[in-house]
Amino acid sequence: MPSVLLETKNLSFIYPGQPESAPPALAEIDLRVYSGEYVALIGANGSGKTTLLKQFNALLRPTAGEVRVADASTADEKAVPGIRSLCGMIFQNPDNQIVGATVEEDVAFALENRAVAPAEIRRRVAAALALLEISHLAGFPPHLLSGGEKQKVALAGLLAAEPRCLLMDEPTAMLDPAGQAVLLETVHRLNREEGITVIHVTHFPEEAALAGRVLLLDRGRLLKEGPPAAVLTDILLLRRLGLRTTAAGELAFLLREDGFPLSGGILHDRELAEQLCLYAQKN
Ligand SMILES: Nc1ncnc2c1ncn2[C@@H]1O[C@H](COP(=O)(O)OP(=O)(O)OP(=O)(O)O)[C@@H](O)[C@H]1O
Ligand SMILES: [Mg+2]
């Protein structure tokens, strides 16, 4: 049985200054994430995804309830540095996370703060830049980079710090298709081979469909959770929230409405193609 890495107990959060008429950003969330899981976090704009991620590395603390990371409470000030090095986060907007004068310095930043030996820092920085195919930008001032390049620099900094848990807020939103593929493959490989836990906030159903579990937030509440084939096939619920499922899932839903005898739970192009081929062979 894998151990619990992240846990919320009756977590509620209200931003200071939030109008009283507005619902709390997070309301009564009870959640456990196990070590080694890959969890996708989905929901409409303003549903609380970023706020929940920030709770997991103690950037925000509960208004009520508790958040525990590797059995330490985020309310415990002494535990916060440990929590931050365990759970690395990349943000939606890469401009908020640039600190170094060059890309190389930026990627090394978290390591220098943690007194890692200089030779080891150089090795990890070079490896992270190479992995994301941005070694040629090492001496460049990060503020002059494009949005997608900045996001890759932020991700390189996160990977160089070798956290046990990656908190990723729409990490591919600014990347080109090749960059999206590299990032997704890298993160899934780290999850599979190194057992790194991932929480991945995304508006792309194709990305959520690759997770082990999907959490659906609605106005600060955890509305539904389960395997992708359970959450992302609830098309009527997703539509009600202004969301959609994968292209294959949408098409399977329409075909089923038209009387095609397709089984439920289809999310991937390959599954749909196989079922359509079976149908064609039989008729
Ligand atoms: N700094 C803040 N002060 C006050 N209210 C905030 C603040 N940040 C977010 N909120 C409110 O909290 C709610 C949840 O915001 P959050 O950023 O977590 O949503 P999200 O699910 O990440 O949305 P998106 O898909 O647009 O990124 C929203 O209603 C938002 O207006
Ligand atoms: Mg957000």
Query: Which tens digit of pLDDT belongs to each residue from 101-116?
Result: 999 999 998 888 777 8
User: What is the pLDDT averaged over residues 53-61?
Assistant: 96
Q: pLDDT band at 196, cuts 50/70/90?
A: very high
What pLDDT is attached to residue 152? Answer: 87
Q: pLDDT band at 22, cuts 50/70/90?
A: confident
Question: How much is the pTM?
Answer: 0.92
Confirm or reject: Cβ of 15 under 6 Å from ligand 1. yes
**Residue of the CA atom closest to atom 11 of ligand 1:** 25
What pLDDT is attached to residue 146? Answer: 86
Whether the per-residue pLDDT at 181 is higher than 80: the answer is yes
User: What is the pLDDT averaged over residues 166-180?
Assistant: 89
Q: pLDDT band at 261, cuts 50/70/90?
A: confident
Rounded CA gap, 256 and 251, in Å?
A: 9
Taking the CA of 43 as reference, the closest ligand is 1
* Distance of CA 144 from the midpoint of ligand 1 (Å): 28
Closest atom of ligand 1 to 43 CA is 21
Taking the CA of 221 as reference, the closest ligand is 1
* Distance of CA 114 from the midpoint of ligand 2 (Å): 28
What pLDDT is attached to residue 148? Answer: 83
Confirm or reject: Cβ of 21 under 6 Å from ligand 1. no
Q: Where are the domains of the chain?
A: 4-97+163-243, 246-283
Helices (H), the chain: 49-56, 80-86, 103-112, 118-131, 147-160, 177-194, 205-208, 228-231, 235-240, 247-257, 269-282
- Is 165 within 8 Å of 196 (Cβ atoms)? yes
Confirm or reject: Cβ of 23 under 6 Å from ligand 1. no
* Distance of CA 92 from the midpoint of ligand 2 (Å): 7
Q: What is the mean pLDDT of the chain?
A: 92
Domain 4-97+163-243, what architecture? 3-Layer(aba) Sandwich (3.40)
| Residues above pLDDT 90, as percent of the chain | 69
Which among 67-71, 116-120, 173-177 has the top mean pLDDT?
Answer: 67-71
End-to-end Cα separation, the chain, in angstroms: 46
